[in-house]
């Protein structure tokens, strides 16, 4: 048995009365230490186990929460990502359904009033506490907060010693439970005697109305809540009369709180015929589906080539074979449009999972998916755990997306990689789709491990947009280089005392402004990317160069014009924007850099008549807001959409004719081995938003380094060449896919212990040998929320350690040894297998 949050597995005896119902994958209530907890059975054994001294108390499930396949999958995840199995199982279950014990204050019985009287003399407040406890157990937090008695309160200790109260485990019911509703049907007697003729025997119009609704629903019956939705009191009385007369029968049933219609689906036109390329891709996938074996595909299709339609057709074939299908999308792509296409294709056979759903809905979906009611599941990262029985096909759209990586809490899994493993274990076909496949996946396809399927053309003859690079400001001068024109009479120019005043270049170049104007005049839409929220990344005192920093993190504060605040984008610390500099007292701030708010302001100034929508995590983080904004823009309620990378992904806006990246180089210079890939992918994606129908689109990239090879990729729409060059540099630097990486992070309140902890682990790793170690070094943001962060990268090359077994084994052993000897106090070690970013 495994308990969430606890390392290791534990043995329990199964009392004979539970022998038949305690099966692997079931949740059980067990005594654990001084309390009771929910655990999950991972294996049952008929032989007596001498280590099993305690018994299982209750079995909490009627059918296993985990199938054997899901147990195997979660176990792999725990081993691969070096994280307790129990934590993986917890991540795989919907939240709030476990039954746990926690210590509460409770009143002892029988209660000794005389003793209380003595205590009340010293502690008159004890009266309130006793009154509260009479109503039931009180958790320690409420005791401290509401009554002011903390865990070390002398009064509580006195009461405890006197045997009046105790602090003991109390079972807390799960927060989320099944929801039941009554299903209404005609009673058996009425059914047998009259059938539909019964309607004629009723005189009240209300009774007739109710009966008609019941007949319309057929033998399955109708939910009482649906039948009486919006009913007047006269109609409710009619219902009561029918019930009293024995005309109706009620049956209690577990119902779902998920309603697909709350997901707001716009009307979407369905393509009548696949293009030839789509057809070829679907055929190839279908042939593998028929073989029923693990088979990975890489669907490499330019933006607008109709990848989603390929998924839909492949899923249709999967369902015809009686199997189920799982579709993973980046959270940001789960818009009503995308969901609507799946809903239109599969109706009530498809369920959607996204982060805006409440815990009851998630629970119902999980239960119904497990029972096989939805053979198609569309969801974000965590849907990789969807308990679909009989999995035949897995789709991972935009497989290169960084958001597939779970960063916090454990398990730090990558949903694409986990999906590949799940497909392998369940003998399913998997399709990874993208216009800009990750370097890793492309490499696998080039090596012949994945089958590459190409969609090289846009649907409907739309051609890829023309991409132009526009110089945003003069090329930065290389240090030491002296501008020629300043030489006078063969003499180098005199050094100026002051550095030249740094003026920021205009945000929008003349060329981009002109293009926007043309687009607007033609009644078309434009999309502008600036991948930084806020107004400007920093404000600097012009006089003394003071740059306000976050007091808790080692980063500068971002200036937000709305509300005039400085905010930290790491910990969300906020303070009012100062009038005067705290260091020199001057009030001469300059803003540096460019955020979405400033871009919006500039657009409003330049195009006062245009309707401008800004979309970033400041405006679109509220539940459902992102979907609503996307829908409004698609419906033509706005002319210009300006925002961060969330506007670049997977959106299909037919009326967009211009897309632009305001600061294309901002994406490229970042100290991480994936920076070029990310930047290039983002630029290609944003370019892909324009001209998606037959008319030609235009893309403008503003940059200070127009010759940058990554920008040339976008001009040529040539991802494949980019991958080839990038592969070479990855090979030279020994990074994935040529190497395997595990990042170890150490976090602590003081500066030296984290570094010391990593140095100790480093020594242990060196003893084990055959791994390369980089660091420890401070993380790029060396302090977040007052915690210091150090990191160390452990690496093996693919040539020596193809599956990474040695690397994983070495790190596992080193960590075990480190913990056995007692780790550094106050230091937390995080393990990040296959880190997405190493900066």
d(CA 68, CA 75): 11
Which of ligand ADP, Zn ion, none interacts with 275 (beta carbon under 5 to 8 A by kind)?
ligand ADP
How many residues in the shown chain lie near ligand ADP by CB under 6 A? 16
Q: Which of residues 450-479 bind ligand ADP (CB under 6 A)?
A: 459-460
- Candidates 98, 182, 256, 305; binder of ligand ADP (CB under 6 A) is 305
SS3 478: coil
Separation CA 514–CA 509 (nearest Å) = 9
- For the segment 282-301, give every residue that binds ligand ADP (CB under 6 A): 301
* C-alpha distances out from residue 639 to 384, 517, 634, Å: 37, 11, 10
Q: Which of 307, 416, 472, 678 binds ligand ADP (CB under 6 A)?
A: 307
From the list 571, 632, 773, 781, which residue makes contact with Zn ion (rule: CB under 5 A)?
Answer: 571
| Short-list 602, 607, 604, CA closest to 591 | 602
Q: Which residues contact 653 (CB under 8 A, 6 or more apart)?
A: 525, 527, 633, 634, 689, 692
State the binding partner of 743 from Zn ion, ligand ADP, none, CB within 5 to 8 A by kind. none
Q: In whole angstroms, what is the distance from residue 697 CA to residue 181 CA?
A: 53
DSSP β-ladder status, 787-797 and 772-784: antiparallel
Q: Does 685 bind ligand ADP (CB under 6 A)?
A: no
- Nearest distance from C-beta of residue 553 to Zn ion, angstroms: 3
Q: C-beta of 511: minimal distance to Zn ion in Å?
A: 38
CB under 5 to 8 A by kind: which of ligand ADP, Zn ion, none does 309 bind? Answer: ligand ADP
DSSP state of 536: B
One of 282, 568, 711, 807 touching Zn ion (CB under 5 A): 568
Q: Respond yes or no on whether the N-terminal peptide bond of residue 69 is cis (omega within 30° of 0).
A: no
| Listed ranges 207-215, 473-481, 567-575, 811-819: which one lies at the site for Zn ion (CB under 5 A) | 567-575
Q: How far is the CB of 264 from ligand ADP (least distance, A)?
A: 18
Among 78, 182, 185, 308, binds ligand ADP (CB under 6 A): 308
Return the DSSP state at 763.
H
Closest to 9 measured CA to CA, from 91, 79, 68, 59: 79
3-state SS, 618-675, equals CCCCCCCHHHHHHHHHHCCCCCEEEECHHHCCCCCCCCEEEEEECCHHHHCCCCCCCH
Cβ–Cβ < 8 Å for 422, 429: no
CB 435 within 8 A of CB 303: yes
Measured from the CB of residue 444, what is the shortest distance to ligand ADP in angstroms? 20
E strand intervals along 482-619: 525-529, 538-541, 558-560, 565-567, 574-576, 589-592, 612-615
**Residue 690 is a binding residue for ligand ADP (CB under 6 A):** no
Of 465 and 754, the one with the shorter C-beta distance to ligand ADP is: 465
Asked whether position 303 contacts ligand ADP by CB under 6 A, the answer is yes
- The residue count for binding Zn ion (CB under 5 A) is 7
Cα(423)–Cα(444) distance, integer angstroms: 16
Say whether the peptide bond before residue 691 is cis (omega within 30 degrees of 0). Answer: no
CA distance 99 to 381: 26
DSSP summary character for residue 774 = E
Q: State the nearest-atom distance from the C-beta of 682 to ligand ADP, in Å.
A: 15
User: Least CB distance from residue 684 to ligand ADP, whole Å?
Assistant: 11
How far apart are alpha carbons 661 and 665 in whole angstroms? 9
| Closest distance of CB 718 from ligand ADP, Å | 17
Part in contact with ligand ADP (CB under 6 A); list of ranges 42-50, 124-132, 307-315, 710-718: 307-315
User: Choosing among Zn ion, ligand ADP, none, which partner's interface includes residue 571 (Cβ < 5 to 8 Å by kind)?
Assistant: Zn ion
519 binds, among Zn ion, ligand ADP, none (CB under 5 to 8 A by kind): none
**Which residue's CB is nearer to ligand ADP, number 278 or number 655?**
278
d(CA 514, CA 254): 60
- Could you say which of Zn ion, ligand ADP, none residue 811 binds, taking C-beta under 5 to 8 angstroms by partner kind? none
Does the footprint of Zn ion cover residue 566 (CB under 5 A)? no
DSSP β-bridge partners for residue 440:
none
Q: Does 570 bind Zn ion (CB under 5 A)?
A: yes
Q: Which one, 211 or 274, has the nearer CB to ligand ADP?
A: 274
Nearer to ligand ADP, 341 or 472 (CB): 341
State yes or no: residue 776 binds ligand ADP (CB under 6 A): no
Piece of 90-98, 302-310, 610-618, 655-663 that binds ligand ADP (CB under 6 A):
302-310
CB of residue 715 vs ligand ADP: minimum separation in angstroms?
A: 20
Rounded Cα–Cα distance for residues 659 and 648 (Å): 10
Among 165, 553, 656, 746, which residue sits at the site for Zn ion (rule: CB under 5 A)? 553
In whole angstroms, what is the distance from residue 734 CA to residue 438 CA?
17
Choosing among Zn ion, ligand ADP, none, which partner's interface includes residue 304 (Cβ < 5 to 8 Å by kind)? ligand ADP
CA angle, residues 177, 183, 186, in degrees to nearest 5? 165
Quick one: which H or E segment has residue 813?
Answer: helix 805-820
Instruction: Give counts: helices (H), strands (E), the chain.
Output: 24, 30
Q: Is 161 or 786 the residue whose CB approaches Zn ion more closely?
A: 786
- Scanning 53-61, 192-200, 566-574, 650-658 for contacts with Zn ion by CB under 5 A, the matching segment is 566-574
Q: Is 278 in the site for ligand ADP (CB under 6 A)?
A: yes
The nearest distance, CB 432 to Zn ion, in angstroms, is 36
Residue 556 or 645: which CB sits closer to ligand ADP?
645
Interaction residues for Zn ion, span 623-652 (CB under 5 A): none
Pair 596, 537: CB distance under 8 Å: no
Stretch of 28-36, 273-281, 476-484, 720-728 contacting ligand ADP, by CB under 6 A: 273-281
CA–CA distance, 713 with 441 (Å, rounded to integer) = 19
Minimum distance from CB of 550 to Zn ion (Å)?
3
SS (H, E, C) 133-170: HHCCCECHHHHHHHHCCCCCCHHHHHHHHCCCEEEEEE
Task: List the one residue from 2, 14, 377, 550 that touches Zn ion (CB under 5 A).
Answer: 550
- Footprint of ligand ADP (CB under 6 A): 271, 273-275, 278, 301, 303-309, 459-460, 652
- Footprint of Zn ion (CB under 5 A): 550, 552-553, 568, 570-571, 573
């Amino acid at each position: 048995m495994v308990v969430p949050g606890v390392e290791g597995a534990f043995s329990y005896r199964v009392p004979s009365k539970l022998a038949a119902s305690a099966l692997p994958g079931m949740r059980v209530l067990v005594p654990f230490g001084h309390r009771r907890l929910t655990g999950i059975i991972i294996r049952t054994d008929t032989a007596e186990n001498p280590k099993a001294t305690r018994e299982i108390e209750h079995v909490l499930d009627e059918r296993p929460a985990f199938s054997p396949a899901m147990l195997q999958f979660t176990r792999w995840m725990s081993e691969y990502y070096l994280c307790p199995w129990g934590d993986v199982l917890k991540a795989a279950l919907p939240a709030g359904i476990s039954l746990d014990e926690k210590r509460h204050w409770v009143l002892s019985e029988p209660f000794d009033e005389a003793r209380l009287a003595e205590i009340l003399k010293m502690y008159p407040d004890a009266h309130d506490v006793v009154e509260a406890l009479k109503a039931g157990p009180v958790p320690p937090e409420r005791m401290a907060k509401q009554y002011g008695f903390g865990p070390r309160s002398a009064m509580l200790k006195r009461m405890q010693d006197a045997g009046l109260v105790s602090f003991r485990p109390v079972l807390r019911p799960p927060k989320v439970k099944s929801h039941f509703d009554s299903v209404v049907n005609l009673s058996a007697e009425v059914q047998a005697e009259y059938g539909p003729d019964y309607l004629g025997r009723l005189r009240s119009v209300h009774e007739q109305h109710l009966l008609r609704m019941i007949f319309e629903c057929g033998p399955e019956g109708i939910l009482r809540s649906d039948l009486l939705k919006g009913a007047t009191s006269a109609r409710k009385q009619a219902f009561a009369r029918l019930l009293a007369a024995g005309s109706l029968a009620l049956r209690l049933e577990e119902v779902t709180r998920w309603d697909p219609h709350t997901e707001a689906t716009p009307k979407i036109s369905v393509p009548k015929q696949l293009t030839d390329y789509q057809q070829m891709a679907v055929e190839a996938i279908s042939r593998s589906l028929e073989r029923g074996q693990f088979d990975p595909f890489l669907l490499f299709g330019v933006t607008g080539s109709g990848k989603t339609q390929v998924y839909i057709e492949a899923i249709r074939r999967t369902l015809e074979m009686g199997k189920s299908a799982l579709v993973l999308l980046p959270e940001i792509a789960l818009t009503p449009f995308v969901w609507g296409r799946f809903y239109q294709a599969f109706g009530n056979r498809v369920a959607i999972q996204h982060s805006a759903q409440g815990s009851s809905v998630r629970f119902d979906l999980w239960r119904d998916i497990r029972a096989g009611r939805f053979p198609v599941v569309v969801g974000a990262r965590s849907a990789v755990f969807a308990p679909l029985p009989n999995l035949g096909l897995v789709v991972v759209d935009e497989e290169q997306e960084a958001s597939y990586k779970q960063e916090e809490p454990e398990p730090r899994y990558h949903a694409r990689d986990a999906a590949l493993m799940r497909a392998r274990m369940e003998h399913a076909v998997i399709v990874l789709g993208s216009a800009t496949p990750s370097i890793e996946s492309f490499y696998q396809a080039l090596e012949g491990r994945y089958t590459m399927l190409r969609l090289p053309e846009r649907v409907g003859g739309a051609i890829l947009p023309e991409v132009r690079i526009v110089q945003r400001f003069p090329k930065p001068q290389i240090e030491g280089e002296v501008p020629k024109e300043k030489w006078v009479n063969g003499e180098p120019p005199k050094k100026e005392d002051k550095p030249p005043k740094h003026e920021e270049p205009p945000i929008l170049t003349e060329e981009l402004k002109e293009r926007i104007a043309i687009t607007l005049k033609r009644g078309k839409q434009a999309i502008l990317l600036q991948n930084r929220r806020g107004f400007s990344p920093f404000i600097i005192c012009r006089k003394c160069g003071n740059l306000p920093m976050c007091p808790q993190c080692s980063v500068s504060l971002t200036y937000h014009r709305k509300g005039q605040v400085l905010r930290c984008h790491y910990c969300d610390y906020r303070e009012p924007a100062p009038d005067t500099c705290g260091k020199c007292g001057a009030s001469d701030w300059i803003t540096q850099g460019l955020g979405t708010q400033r871009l919006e302001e500039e657009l409003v100034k330049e195009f006062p008549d245009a309707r401008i929508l800004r979309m970033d995590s400041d405006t679109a983080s509220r539940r459902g807001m992102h979907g609503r904004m996307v829908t409004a823009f698609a419906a033509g309620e706005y002319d210009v959409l300006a925002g961060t990378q969330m506007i670049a992904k997977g959106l299909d806006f037919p009326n967009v004719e211009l897309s632009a990246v305001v600061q294309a180089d901002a994406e490229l210079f970042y100290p991480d081995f994936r920076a070029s890939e990310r930047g290039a992918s983002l630029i290609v994606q944003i370019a892909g938003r324009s001209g998606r129908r037959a008319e030609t689109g235009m893309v403008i990239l503003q940059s200070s380094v127009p010759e940058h090879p990554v920008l040339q990729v976008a001009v040529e729409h040539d991802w494949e060449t980019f991958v080839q060059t990038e592969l070479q540099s990855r090979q030279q630097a020994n990074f994935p896919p040529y190497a395997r990486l595990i990042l170890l992070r150490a976090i602590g309140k003081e500066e030296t212990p984290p570094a010391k902890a990593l140095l100790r682990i480093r020594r242990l790793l060196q003893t084990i040998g055959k791994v390369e170690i980089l660091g420890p070094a401070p993380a790029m943001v060396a302090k977040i929320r007052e915690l210091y962060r150090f990191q160390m990268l452990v690496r093996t090359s693919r040539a020596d350690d193809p599956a990474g077994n040695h690397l994983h084994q070495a790190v596992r052993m080193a960590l075990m040894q480190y913990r056995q000897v007692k780790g550094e106090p106050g230091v937390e070690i995080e393990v990040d297998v296959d880190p997405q970013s190493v900066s």
